[in-house]
Structure 1
Amino acid sequence: GQKFDYRTGFCLEAQHFPDSPNHPHFPMTILMPDQIYRQDTIYKFLVEE
């Protein structure tokens, strides 16, 4: 619902929970040597005129 002015930008940075190794109830973010890392990030935008 926000209109951006000329040359205005924004940034979306996908990341894991900060400090997750120190919080057992957070998702695990340590990758072991035999594990495969995969992450999908999907952004959807709508333009209204």
Structure 2
Amino acid sequence: MDITELIDVLNSRIHSIKWEIDVLNIKIRTLKAENEALKEQLDQLTVIKEDE
């Protein structure tokens, strides 16, 4: 494998890693949104419990 082929392989791997990072960032944003929704539900349940 010459240097050009090695660079191509490394560039391809870098591209794959960047794609994987993008996917993970989307999952993180989704989990944060779900977490916020759950916090709001918990807050509502806490208010209902306090009113009883």
Answer yes or no: same fold by TM over 0.5. no
- Tell which structure's C-alpha radius of gyration is larger: 2
TM-score, normalised to structure 1, is 0.23
